[in-house]
Structure formats: structure tokens, C-alpha cells
Amino acid sequence: MSKYITTPIYYVNGEAHIGHAYTTFIADTVARYERLKGEDTFFLTGTDEHGQKIEESAQKNNKPTQEFADEISATFKNLWDDFGISYDKFIRTTDEDHKIGVQKAFETMYAKGDIYKDFYEGHYCVSCETFFPETQLEDGEFCPDCGRSTNIIKEESYFFKLSKYEDKLLKHYEDNPDFILPRSRANEVINFVKGGLRDLSVTRTSFSWGVKMPASFNDDNHVMYVWLDALLNYITALGYGKDEENMNYWPASTQFVGKDILRFHAIYWPAFLMSLDLPLPQHIGAHGWWTRDGEKMSKSKGNVVAPKVVADAYGEENLRYFMLREVPFGQDGDFSQRAFIDRINSELSNDLGNLLNRIIGMSGKYSDFEIDSVDVEKYHSKELQSMQEVIANLDPFMENLQTHRYLEELWKLFSIGNKAIEEYAPWTKMKEDKKDEALATVALVANILAKASIMLHPVMPKTTNIVADALNFEINNASYKDLIVENKLLKLFNIKSVPPLFPRVEEPLMEEAPKAEPNPPKQKKEQAKETTTKEVDNLIEIGQFFETSLKVGIVLEAKEVPKSKKLLKLQVSLGESDVRQVVAGIKEFYSAEDLINTQVCVVANLKPAKLMGMMSEGMLLAAKDEDGLCLVRPEKPKKAGTPIG
């Protein structure tokens, strides 16, 4: 079965930032994972180069538009090449083959009666390339998405009959609950469609930088509107409208997007495909945004994270690991150097790197670097069983795009290895003249490292190739079948010495982001005095604070509450003999499936209360602002019941 993985095509009005890198890393990881399993996989990325914003940016830079687009597009392609991204095609919307495919699609939609000509008058945001009805504007004129001022535009346009597909879209969402991942993102799309869809303007006459109309229309005043042009790249890259050489890969398996462009990919895109009588992608995976040290990134704040700068300081694969491990897919993530360093030192250096070094050292001392798995099953059947259980749990996490849970589960293998060394103490066995047992433990850990490196390979391909080379095998579909699917062990081999994979990081290697200066509120002296008084009145003694018991909990089970739009019923372990039931109003922001086996912070000594007839024995800590709600979680996994304070 073939697989088709895509990133969005990145807009060439600026160079790549950390959000672009995250999307590309996770798409590359999924593509590598599918190839590892033997699936015929096609991976697409590229750049979006048309539209009024590009035309204006080129003019500001005193460059021809194509030259400007060429330069910015090259920065993306060069970055992905530097990072070893395994794309099969890098598409540009200025490619001639793409333009031909877009024109073909336009003709097909028009012939079907889904495109018609009319006039449009409305508020247009140049930055978002989107029209908005006046009812959606902030303060009557500002874009609801980016906050910038809109322009009132009246012009002739071709329209796509988006309203025609409203019911079909809703039925598709209902019949395919995993179409949008994570599922928690689906509600916003469904509610938007239920609110009624207006026909979509798909051409413009106020600028010229775009795909021209098909020659058969004899209408040179129009160019394709950016979303019709951009979204079609996913099929023009496969040859749609020309040779259709790779259309066998369609429909896409997973199309990765940021949450800010989910609406276009989950509403416009499937409607276009329905019009073209093409099947819809299996999944649209929408991830969150990245902040830096808790603050939104912006050029004006000077806190934008450039992925190349981070990779040069800390290592590209360390960056890949951190971003895929740090945040649940779909939620916003925070880039913190301290958190990054902690993961490098504790998980990569201590757990993985140190385990490999210990095995190299012991095998050199006990057996002249020779490792034989002959006695592993005899002495370590318990560890082998535990290892297989961990490996069996991994695939569903990757299938559901939960790379943080995939890596969290995978790391249990290194725990098994480190625990085995401490429990069986090969150095003691050697002194007791039990060499067979000592070498069996060394071989057990070598096999753990081999199997773990195979499963870690999609995330850290270069690093795991070093591990595999040290263990004298190659990571490919053949070794995946042998060591993972068929559960075989390594054959007799000589291990190689390698330099430490993850040198410890003792201090930040990049300049910290400047702290944002808070804007002083404009208020009268009387208001300031009143505010100060209120703040003083609300101060508490430290003893009062410690009366609140805050603990780390693990969500063991999560269910939706019938007839409630907000409530989820959770079973939470706080390390006590009994599991607690907590009823939380977070259904709009989290699906029940996303919460299972995740950690939360709980007010543990809250008086039990009934919500909709259900007893709730605690409260989850969460933060909420204009971007939505997110749960407060420990930076690193902690034992259930660990006190907070």
C-alpha cells in the first residue's frame, strides 16, 4: 500500500522559522517510519510563491517578483537539504507543470458548473490572503485572524460554489472521525461549516502575480486566487493535469498543516477535490504554534527562533528530538533552552548515550568487544518480554501522530537496559566466575540498543546509523523485519567504539531571548490607586498557599460526558490506593483520546463536588487566553502523586 505525506507549501515572504521546521520534522519522521516498514512512500514539501503579498514584498526589496521568490524559496530548500529532509519532491507554485495542473483543474470545475463569474465587494486582508464578511471583523475593519487592517475591495471575480458542498463536507466529517487529527481540532471546523458556507472568490484582477487563466477563457485580467492555486499543489506534484505519472499515490495518507491554515485544508481543499471527483486525504494533521519562553514569537520582540541557528548550536537531530518529544501533537509548544538542555542531558546523554558507552566498555573488558546473543533468552526472558511489550505499543502512537507518546514509550527500552545492568551487575558476575551470565546481560542490552535504534531511526536517522554501525548492522526494512517484526536477536558480532553521542550541555549555547517590556497601562491616578489597593487586598500569606495541595496526576481513563459540550470525565491516579474521578470542562480543547496516559497538575485537597450528577474529586490546573486553553503539565514526567510547590 502506497503512502503520501505532505507538508504545507511555505509562503516565501520570509525565511524559515521554528514552526516550519516542526512541521517538516514531523512529516519527515512519518515518511521515514512508513519507509522503514516497507511502505512505498512519497513525501512532498515546497514553497507557495504567488499572491499580492509576494508581489508587494518584492517591490519593497526592489527586486523582480520571480527573482525575489527564487531567493526565498532557495532558503527553504537549502535548509531542508542541510537537515537531511527525505522529501521526494520539492514543488514550487511557479513551476510550469504546476500552473498547467491548476489551469486543468479550473477548467474541470467550471465545466461541472462549480465555478461562475460575478462581482465581489468585501473586506480583504492582504496578509492572510482572505476575504471576511463585516460581521467577522474586529472593530469594524481589522482582520479577525491577524489583527491587521483590511481593505474594502470591489472587483470582478470567478467564484467557486463552496456552499454546494456544505452538507457533503459535514457528512464526510461524521463518517470519518479521524479525518482531522487530533480530533479535538475537528469541532472548530465542523462549527464553521454548520454556520453556513459562502461561495469562494477564486480569481483576482487587482494584481498580476499568479497563475493565469486557461487560454480557452480569453480572460487575461484574472489570475488564480492564492488558495485555489496553492492547495492544488498536492496533486499537481503527482502529475495532475499533465502526465499523471505519480497519481497512484493519491489520496494522501496525512497532510500536515499548522492550526492557522486548518480551515483552508479541511474545508476548501476537500470541496475542491469533491468537485474534481477525486478521493479525499485520509488525515489532515493540524499542529499548534510554538512560543519562546512562554511568549509569542515576533520580529519586533527579537525572539524568533531560527532553526539553523539552533541546529548549529545544539545539533540538528537534538532539535528534531526535542520538538517531537516536547509537545503533544495539536497543542502549542514552547521553545525553552533550559527544557532543551534538560532533555539532551537526561534523556539523550544519560539514557541513550551512556547506555551505549557502558556496553562498549564492558564488552571490551569482558570479551574483547565480541557480543553473542546465544544465552540472552536463557537468562533474560523477563526483559525480552518487557521489551516486546514496549515495541508492540509504538505503532498506534505514530499512526495517531502522537510522537511525544511514541518517544516516551520508546524510552522505556533504555530504562529496561539500564535497570538490567544495575540489577544483574555483570562486573560482579565476572568476579563470581559467571561469565556466561555477565555476557548475556551485555548482549541483552546490545539487542535493546539495536531494536530501540531501529524504532528511533525515523526521528534521529543520523544518530541511529552511528549506533547501528557500532552494533555492526544496518537500519533498513530488512533489519526492521528481523529484529522488530520477527523478534530475532543480533547474531555474533564485534562492537565498535564510538565517541560520546551526546556530550553534556552545561550552559545555554545561544543568547537568551530578550524579555518583553510590559506596556504600562494608561490610567488615571485614581484608577491606579484603586488597582494597587485591590492587589494588596488579594495578597495571601505563604501559609495560605501551602494549604493548597497540588500534585502530579496521570490520566488513566477519559470519557466524554453525554449531553455536555464542555465536560470530560477522567480517572486520575495521584499515587494513592484509589483512583480519583475528576470532571473537567476541557472538552472544547482536548479529546478524551489525547488525554489518556498523559500527566496533569491537580488540586488534590479540593472539596468533592457534583457536576451534572457526577462526583469530581479534584481540579485540573489550566491556563486560558485568547488563543484558547492549555493544561498545566510538568516539564518532565514525574511519578503520580509528586507534590507541586
**What confidence score (pLDDT) does residue 530 get?**
43
Task: Please enumerate, by residue number, every residue annotated as part of a binding site for Zn(2+).
Answer: 125, 128, 143, 146
**What confidence score (pLDDT) does residue 542 get?**
54
What is the CA angle 25-31-83, rounded to 5?
35
Helix (H) or strand (E) holding 160, with range, is strand 151-160
CA proximity to 27, closest of 324, 265, 242, 276: 324
Burial class, 87, CB count within 10 angstroms (exposed 0-12 / middle 13-18 / buried 19+): buried
Q: What is the DSSP code string of 253-279?
A: SEEEEEGGGHHIIIIIHHHHHHHTT-P
First to last CA, the chain: 51
**What confidence score (pLDDT) does residue 540 get?**
57
Asked if omega into 307 is within 30° of 0 (cis), the reply is no
At residue 184, the 3 state secondary structure works out as helix
> Running along the chain, 645 residues long, what does each successive block of 10 average in pLDDT?
96 91 98 98 97 90 95 97 98 98 98 94 78 71 82 89 98 97 93 95 91 95 92 98 95 97 97 98 97 85 91 97 96 95 97 97 97 98 98 97 97 98 97 97 98 98 98 98 98 96 96 68 42 45 66 89 82 86 87 84 86 84 78 83 83
Q: How far apart are CA 91 and CA 332, in angstroms?
A: 28
**What confidence score (pLDDT) does residue 528 get?**
39
pTM over 0.85: no
Q: How far apart are CA 570 and CA 592, in angstroms?
A: 8
For residue 555, list its beta bridge partners: 572
Q: How far apart are CA 138 and CA 373, in angstroms?
A: 67
CB of 620 closer than 8 Å to CB of 586: yes
CB of 469 closer than 8 Å to CB of 497: no
CB of 98 closer than 8 Å to CB of 233: yes
CB of 253 closer than 8 Å to CB of 4: yes
Taken in order of first residue, the domains within the chain and their CATH numbers are 333-494 (1.10.730.10), 540-644 (2.40.50.140)
Task: Please enumerate, by residue number, every residue annotated as part of a binding site.
Answer: 125, 128, 143, 146
Here the cell at position 426 is 555483570
| Helix 354-367 / helix 435-456 crossing angle, nearest 10 deg | 150
Burial class, 13, CB count within 10 angstroms (exposed 0-12 / middle 13-18 / buried 19+): middle
For residue 142, list its beta bridge partners: 138, 149
Q: How far apart are CA 345 and CA 484, in angstroms?
A: 28
Burial class, 175, CB count within 10 angstroms (exposed 0-12 / middle 13-18 / buried 19+): exposed
Q: How far apart are CA 454 and CA 38, in angstroms?
A: 13
Strands 10-11 and 200-201: unpaired
